[in-house]
Amino acid sequence: MELKASGLQIIGESPAETYPLQKKAHSFEFLREIAHLRPRTNTFGAVARMRSQMAFAMHSFFNERSFQYVHTPIITASDCEGAGEMFQVTTLDIDSLAKSGKPADYSKDFFGKKSYLSVSGQLNVETYCMALGKVYTFGPTFRAENSNTPRHLAEFWMIEPEIAFAELPEDMALAEDFIKYLLSWALDTCGEDLAFFDKRVQPGLIATLEAVRSSVFAHMTYTDAVKELEKHADDFEFKPYWGCDLQTEHERYLTEIVMKGPVIVTDYPKELKAFYMRRNDDGKTVSAMDVLVPRIGEIIGGSAREYRLDILEAAMAEKGLETAPYWWYLDLRRYGSAPHAGFGLGFERLMRYVTGMENIRDVIPFPRAPKQAEF
């Protein structure tokens, strides 16, 4: 395009001597340090557009299937979610408390007890699942883990659907449909931005997304997965055996070498998974699933939920959990319990998958990570 201007007015100056962005490629590491200016670059503009589209696609998927969007709380007053270290929320004056040398009196805290930022909306959304049938949450989630990797954030957005009268097979089918729907949406509505990522960020991206869209996800039980890994034990630093937690190297091997595409691993040993997962009849495993995809690894974790009160209480006892704080969660099993299942999908992990961006800090506008809360 060419313009024949009749006049030119400078509305806001941008002195070239000090403006950090130059007419050349900058490293993502550098751009992270100027997160307030990076949306002006072609890459981060494309990321922002695709992030918006993916959020819309997610709502569209659930809306088409008559799911209800439930807003679960961000602040939680019970330390009972068990999905990692939590950020404490308080209005107590930490400085004067430290000077006084006295222990904190949480009855004087805002909520009258210790409170935290939520690490998951799942327990809360299960209550609406038992009322409305098909529900999902989408909101910010907080984990105070000191993890410094290209795939973890301290503040991230998570999508958690929960479906009633469903067991693991329905859950797996939902997860697969969901991923494919999102990839289709990206391919159909974000063509220009995808072409950019394919050319400049992740060559072969579009071909990969197209292949996954029309593929059938492989299924594999944990037990079969371990058998497969044991055949190639020499390739691993950590030798696989039944009962071991699958290491990153194992997961990558399964999805990238064995299956060469997405794979859903199911039925993990009960010792490896959370208390609320449905106990299988073998007495050793639970109805859990992890969806693994090449390059990203685990993108979804989910399970059927234990809906039988006595078995759920026994599982909590095995894991040394007190039942009292979970009284309302257990009420769901006391009053009209039904099989149900759900999963969690990290929105930024989806964004990494769909854009080809390597570092999760580059697919969220203002990343929060250990020692990182500028902007």
Partner RNA sequence: UCCCCUGUAGCUCAGCUGGCAGAGCAAGUGGCUGUUAACCACUGGGUCCGUGGUUCAAAUCCGCGCGGGGGAGCCA
Q: How far apart are CA 92 and CA 320, in angstroms?
A: 30
Q: CA separation (Å) from 345 to 78, 115, 156, 349? A: 23, 25, 11, 8
- The structure tokens listed for 154 are 């301290």
Instruction: Pick the binder of RNA from 42, 52, 63, 146 (CB under 7 A).
Output: 146
Q: Is 42 in the site for RNA (CB under 7 A)?
A: no
**Segment interacting with RNA (CB under 7 A) among 71-79, 87-95, 278-286, 354-362:** 354-362
Q: Kindly report the three-state secondary structure assignment for every residue of 254-285.
A: HHHHHCCCCEEEEEEEHHHCCCCECECCCCCE
Q: Is 371 in the site for RNA (CB under 7 A)?
A: yes
Cα dihedral 230, 232, 234, 235 sign: negative
Q: Is 133 in the site for RNA (CB under 7 A)?
A: no
Site string for RNA, 203-242 (x = CB under 7 A): -----------------------------------x----
**Segment interacting with RNA (CB under 7 A) among 164-172, 216-224, 291-299, 315-323:** 291-299
Minimum distance from CB of 130 to RNA (Å)? 20
Q: How far apart are CA 32 and CA 111, in angstroms?
A: 36
Instruction: Pick the binder of RNA from 48, 55, 77, 83 (CB under 7 A).
Output: 83
Instruction: Pick the binder of RNA from 7, 8, 12, 24 (CB under 7 A).
Output: 24
* Three-class DSSP category at 16: coil
**Segment interacting with RNA (CB under 7 A) among 39-47, 86-94, 179-187, 243-251:** 243-251
Q: Is 297 in the site for RNA (CB under 7 A)?
A: yes
Minimum distance from CB of 105 to RNA (Å)? 28
Q: Is 331 in the site for RNA (CB under 7 A)?
A: no
Q: How far apart are CA 258 and CA 246, in angstroms?
A: 15
Q: How far apart are CA 109 and CA 88, in angstroms?
A: 11
Minimum distance from CB of 160 to RNA (Å)? 8
Instruction: Pick the binder of RNA from 7, 12, 23, 283 (CB under 7 A).
Output: 23
Strands ordered across the beta sheet of 155-164: 68-69, 134-142, 155-164, 340-346, 297-304, 285-293, 263-269, 218-221
Which residues make up the interface to RNA (CB under 7 A)?
2, 16-17, 20, 22-27, 29-30, 32, 83-84, 120, 143, 145-153, 156, 158, 238, 245, 247-249, 297-301, 344-346, 348-349, 358-361, 371-372
